[in-house]
Structure 1
Amino acid sequence: MNFDWTNPYPTIRSPLMARNVVATSQALASQAGLRMLLKGGNAVDAAIAAAAALTIVEPVSNGLGSDNFAILWDGKELHGLNSSGVAPAAWNPEYFRRKHGDKMPMRGWDTVTTPGAVAGWVALSERFGKLPFADLLEPAIELAERGHGVGRIVSDKWGRQVPGLKDQPGYAEAFMPRGRAPEPGERFVFAAAGATLRQIALTKGEAFYRGEIAEKLVAHAKANGGSMALVDLANFRPEWVTTIRQDFAGHTVHEIPPNGQGIAALMALGMLERLDLARYPVDSVESQHLQIEAMKLAFADTYRWVADERSMTEVTAEDLLSDGYLRERAKLIDPKRAGDPAHGTPPKGGTIYLSAADERGMMISLIQSNYMGFGSGVVVPGTGVSLQNRGHGFTLDEKHPNVVAPGKRPFHTIIPGFLTRDGQPQMSFGVMGGNMQPQGHLQTLVRMLVHRQQPQAACDAPRWKVGSGRAVDFESTMAPALVDGLKALGHRFEPTPDAYMDYGSGQFIWKLSDDQEDGYVAASDSRRDGQAVGY
């Protein structure tokens, strides 16, 4: 790819070129990963160290009770890992109707599925890591026990969550050490999490799922109306999966198969592949309109059909990605007017993101999340384990494939991305932030692959975010003429209500050539406190 190395958008960052790279949404976490590379570790070692550090330095977005997913190139082939948790054995629609009425709860213990992140770290380390597992958690332990100065953007997002979560069990003790959220630069010490990380390091995660930490989690659940049991934790195993894919602009885009929403990005890109985007300028009304419409159609199908893949018996991922179906969906896009999308019926057939790559050719795309800013809001006293609320992603509609059931994975928003060309690795990438993630994948890939914008420029460019129907929000840096042009086509402007998710935050590592000595170019989104580092 011959990128245009200019950057027409306001930015304070330049792309990084190096043979070994770590890019995350928080600078201290990037440095934790870099420490592993300098110690002789590989990209997987770096990613695990960075992910563990992020549970401490960006606790709004993830914690020790998170889930994660990963896609990695081991130097020869691509692998996917789904380490998202499953519903406790006690969960079913009647359980929730009896306790919560007709809607899934948003916070508290009844939103907590089995945490998968720690098991994901262990699985990655055992299969692909180079350094001892305990070494990988050293930076996170140091950050937790000695403390660190809280980042500016993390502090802002932390403060926004306090009013709604301060009464959740264990939250104030863990995350309001001075009766409030920390100010930027204020030192935050998370000693309880440091002690738990030491146990995880010593036992390779066994204490978390089958030992002392597991017992504390279950006791706290029982005391606060939850149903998590020891057997739910002990039985959890991450799953190695084959990626789903879509060809686009001479490359192949890879995502984790459902229960994640990565399929939405693939569907939208599949539609756009049939609409010849290259004929329009990068920031034109015509190009942005087509992208918005494709994304809306993809979301309509995703929200109707996508669930734990084991439950997608009526419509499968293969059905949704079939060439004929995407061709028909693309025909529904009116180039002159915004539409009101509905799902089709195919013929039968709060998050952190990080990326790392090393000079031996290993590349990893990893995403980890508690969801919705501090997840469930529950923090188990004495452990520092803040728990996700991914159970909120289930539905109580028993006709929907995503209906809650024991041992089932809920619909999940977090999606790592990976790009190959002619069967070889090209880029590990991702954009964190709720349903902004597939939208971010779409917008940045179009900029890089169709319009040859370099990764930092594609990352810095203003973004849109679709809502329901014709609703769409535009980032404040978007050109007024472009916004007016989209409104004239019938797009209804509606400000995004959730400031926590906003327009996402991406990390991108692009392999510069087939010659490994040429290394990579990396970009880190300026919408967070992140950084790309390397040597």
Structure 2
Amino acid sequence: MNFDALHYPYRSQRNVVYAKNGMVATSQPLAAQAGLDILKKGGNAIDAAIATAACLTVVEPTSNGIGGDAFALVWTKGQLHGLNSSGPAPMNISIEKVKEDGHERMPKYGWVPVTVPGAPAAWVELSKRFGRLPLLDVMKPAIDYATNGYPVSPTLGRFWKRAFEQYKQNCTGAEFEAWFETFAPKGRAPEVGEMWSSLDHADTLEQITRTNGESFYKGAIAEKIAAASEVHGGYLTKDDLAAFQPEWVDPIKVNYRGYDVWEIPPNGQGIVALMALNILKGFDFTTKESTDTYHKQIEAMKLAFSCGKQYITDPKHMGVTAEELLSNSYGRKRQALIGSEAGTPAPGVPPRGGTVYLATADGEGNMVSFIQSNYMGFGSGIVVPGTGIAMQNRGHDFSLDPTHYNCLKGGKKTYHTIIPGFLTKDNQAVGPFGVMGGYMQPQGHVQVIMNTIDFHLNPQVALDAPRWQWKSDKTVEVEKSFPLHIAEELGRKGHDIQVLVDSGSFGRGQIIWRDPETGVLMGGTESRTDGAIASW
């Protein structure tokens, strides 16, 4: 893969990183270093991914937690494996019950949108199948940070303060008291540079480690979760937790200009990125900074989302197959709908999200693309008393329309926004990539893949390049660094272009590419957050 960042007019904020023995890229320096420490102790890329992920629940709680979900793509011994560790809705929930509770749509906060957390099971499953070190060694950095504390980093502090104000306004019932006790113990969000710790969080991580997850799903922790749910009228029970198992799945792909781009199949929205690329591969792109390039990218993304929002849900309840949505004939039909003016497909309005993504690689060729989230920042606003566990609100994405494919049903998995990506060529690994952030994620995947393949940008420049995000109808948000003359020309094509100064909504990505001949690793990390690459 020949990269040339020099011709690109945008000044990259960081230098691309090269290493040979191992690399960890994620949004928080302490978590990246934790993963690297595991590599240096003899762990492999899978061990490093688990250590980094567990650590991120402590050092970046604004975006993920023990009570969230996780997905992974694992490259090892020449094969790509997919892990879906997203949890279903509680068995005894229903559209009728939620409406009887007074909701016309699934709420964001409280126990109603809480689904079974999958992240702890993902760590255990990855360790059991592919890990090299004992889970206790791998989880130790996270436990240490939760016990002894760490200074809050700049971007983390900003989002923590924003979340505190949001929850103070929206989460006023007794069920939310433990969230404020845990994440705002001084009656406010911690300041940048201020130490924060959580002994309850540390104890929960230790119990998960010591019991290989049994405590969380069938033991003492499960009892605490179920008891808190029952007290506050939630639907989640101990039986729901005990029944959960992560699923190994076959990743899905499209071939884009000789490269295979891989995603987790539905219920994840990775197929949206693949549908967009399947449309875009029918065009020739020679220049990144052109109105025509951006116009076609945006229009393809709209068309992909219109299908994704219609069909994506638990695969047992989908009306079509992934193969049908990714067929070349369907891609050509969708491509034919792109004209010279902005169109108006009809998906719902994408909300914002909160997620962490990490990529790891070791000197043996193992690589991991891993993502986990509580959704919408801290999630539901629920912390299970005495555990430090912030519960996700993934159920918010369910529809209460019984005719919709993604309608709420007990035991069903919802449309899921978090998606890890992976790139291969000629059956060899190129590497993991991801861009976190709600419905920005497939849009970010398309942009960084095209930056890489079509425009030959190295990983850091591919990430630093100004991003756009389609929101709804003809509305497209762009970063302040987006070329103004192109924004104006897109406006003349009918796009409603809105320039955002500092929204934090354009996603946060990581990339690691591997040279198949030399084994040299090349990484880029997100300049829009406290991103870091640890390598050796």
**Does the TM-score normalized on the shorter chain lie above 0.5?**
yes
State the Cα distance separating 1:492 from its structure 2 match: 0.5
* Aligned position for 1:37: 39
The one-letter code of the counterpart of 2:458 is: Q
1:23–1:30: 8 Å Cα contact kept in structure 2?
yes
Q: Name the CA shift for 1:188/1:292 in 2 (closer, same or farther; >3 Å).
A: same
Contact 2:73–2:368, Cα closer than 8 Å, also in 1:
yes
CA distance, structure 2, for counterparts of residue 415 and residue 363 of structure 1:
16
Match of 2:91 in 1: 89
Matches within 5 A, 1:67-86: 67-86=69-88
Q: Does the 8 A contact of 2:87 with 2:117 survive in 1?
A: yes
Which residue does the alignment assign to 2:351?
none
Matching residue's letter, 1:453: L
User: Which residue pairs with 1:317 in the alignment?
Assistant: 322
Q: Which letter does structure 1 place at the counterpart of 2:530?
A: D
The yes-or-no answer on 1:259 pairing with 2:267 is yes
Structure 1 residue aligned with 2:285? 277
1:513 — aligned with what?
516
| Offset from partner CA, 1:84-131 (integer Å, 9 cap, x none) | 011101111111111133211111111110000000000000000000
Per the TM alignment, residue 514 of structure 1 is displaced from its structure 2 partner at its CA by 2.9
CA contact (8 A) 2:480 2:501 kept: no
Is 1:250 the equivalent of 2:288? no
Within 5 A, what are the aligned runs for 1:6-85? 6=6, 8-19=9-20, 20-85=22-87
Does the alignment pair 1:421 with 2:425?
Answer: yes
* Native 8 Å contact 1:301 1:342 kept in 2: no
Look up the equivalent residue of 1:207 and give its one-letter code: S
Alpha-carbon distance in 1 for matches of 2:304, 2:142: 38
Letter in 2 for 1:242: D
- The answer to whether the Cα contact below 8 Å between 1:8 and 1:457 also exists between their aligned partners in 2 is no
1:332 to 327, 333, 337: 337
In the alignment, which residue of structure 1 is the partner of 2:378?
374
Residue 101 of structure 2 aligns to a residue whose secondary structure is: helix
3-state DSSP class of the match of 1:419?
A: strand
Deviation readout 1:397-425 (Å, 9 max, x if unpaired): 11111111111111100000001101111
**What is the Cα deviation at residue 473 of structure 1?**
0.5
**Alignment coverage as a number of residue pairs:** 522
Which residue of the partner structure matches residue 469 of structure 2? 465
Percentage identity across paired residues of the two chains: 49
- The 1:498–1:475 alpha-carbon spacing in structure 2 relative to 1, beyond 3 Å, is closer
For the 8 Å contact 1:169–1:377, the answer to whether it is kept is no
Q: Deviations over 1:278-309 (max 9, x none)?
A: 3xx11111111110110011001100111111
* Aligned counterpart in structure 2 of residue 186 of structure 1, from 179, 194, 211: 194
Q: Which residue of 1 aligns with 2:292?
A: 286
- Offset at residue 496 of structure 1 (A): 6.6
Residue 337 of structure 1, CA deviation: 1.1
Matching residue within 393, 402, 412 for 2:406: 402
Q: Which amino acid aligns with 1:471?
A: T
Deviations 1:219-251 (A, max 9, x none): 111111111111100010000000111111210
Q: What secondary structure, in the 3-state scheme, does the structure 2 residue paired with 1:435 have?
A: helix
Residues 165 and 171 in structure 1, CA contact (< 8 A), matched pair in contact too? no
- 1:499: how far off? 3.5
1:54 counterpart SS class: helix
| Cα distance change of structure 1 residues 228 and 178 upon mapping to structure 2, 3 Å threshold | same
Q: Match for 2:76: what amino acid? A: D
Q: Deviations over 1:429-474 (max 9, x none)?
A: 0000000000000011111101101110010000000011111001
**Structure 1 residue 497: Cα displacement:** 11
Give, in whole Å, the separation in 1 of the partners of 2:204 and 2:29: 23
* Deviation at residue 76 of structure 1 after TM alignment: 1.9
Q: Determine the C-alpha separation between the residues in 2 that align with 1:470 and 1:100.
A: 33
1:304 maps to what in 2? 310
Q: Is the 8 A contact 1:430 1:506 kept in 2?
A: yes
Instruction: Tell me the distance in 1 between the aligned counterparts of 2:266 and 2:94.
Output: 20
Cα displacement string for residues 17-56 of structure 1 (whole angstroms, at most 9, x for unaligned residues): 1121000010000001001000000000000000000000
Corresponding residue of 1:389 = 393
Residues 169 and 380, structure 1, Cα contact 8 Å, conserved in 2: no
Equivalent residue, structure 2, for 1:346: none
